[in-house]
Amino acid sequence: GSDICVAGTKFELFWNDYAAKYWKNGVQQPLGNYASANSIALSGNDVYVAGWEWESTGSGIIPVAKYWKNGQPVLLPTGAMEAYANSIAIAGSDVYVAGEAGHGAIYWKNGQAVSLASNLTHSGANSIGVVGADVYVAGYEGDIAKYWKNGQAVSLSGGIATSIAVVGSDVYLAGYYYQAQGISIAKYWKNGQ
């Protein structure tokens, strides 16, 4: 409709004083302190925000993946590993969240974890999209950009995929790769090219 919603992290007084928030039509809505909001999705009148928040667990104080529905937190299970929720998508009554748990790419469907990592290298999931019955996730494994369609990995070139969009049978990804001396270069892929 005519609503504009934005999710983000607001730094308050000092670098270590920050909070996850979202804004609807410019009006700030707090979500959690010592937390980060990374993605937002709307479904009807419901506002969903994916992110993470520092919490005390049996393993100490770690970041835990969660999403907020209309400001109410929903914890995403990770088995007491540090975890981050980076992207959220709603398809019908299903909630999909992509992220990272224990340094491995993962997504959750309605709170049920689906591991994407091969456990060989550090990986992460940065974006998620759902088209019909297909789930697309963009991310990386080691220094290779990847996307996963229904859990099956498709390797791209070196770099990190940060966003995914599917139009018809075409799969588009945005991201970047590192060049020499710490310089990163933006790139996008269409159908792996």
Higher pLDDT, 150 or 17: 150
pTM, full prediction: 0.93
Residue 56 clears pLDDT 90, i.e. is over it: no
Give me the phi and psi of 179, to 5 degrees please.
-105, 180
Q: For all residues of the chain together, what is the average pLDDT?
A: 92
Could you read off the pLDDT of 132-178 as tens digits, one per residue? 999 999 999 999 999 999 999 999 988 999 999 999 999 999 999 98
172 burial (CB, 10 Å; 0-12 / 13-18 / 19+) is middle
Q: Kindly compute the dihedral angle of the four CA atoms of residues 54, 56, 60, 65, in this order, to the nearest 10 degrees.
A: -40
Question: How would you list the strands of the sheet with 184-190, edge to edge?
Answer: 160-167, 170-178, 184-190
H helix runs in the chain, sequence order: none
Q: State in Å, rounded, how far the first CA of the chain is from the last one.
A: 35
In the predicted structure, residue 14 carries a pLDDT above the cut 70: no
Residue 11 has pLDDT above 90, yes or no: no
pLDDT digits (tens, 9 = 90+) for 67-91: 999 999 999 998 778 999 999 999 9
Checking if the pLDDT of 189 tops 90, the result is: yes
Q: How far apart are CA 94 and CA 105, in angstroms?
A: 20
Query: Could you give the CA distance from residue 77 to residue 168 in angstroms, rounded to a whole number?
Result: 33
Question: pLDDT at residue 119 above 90?
Answer: no
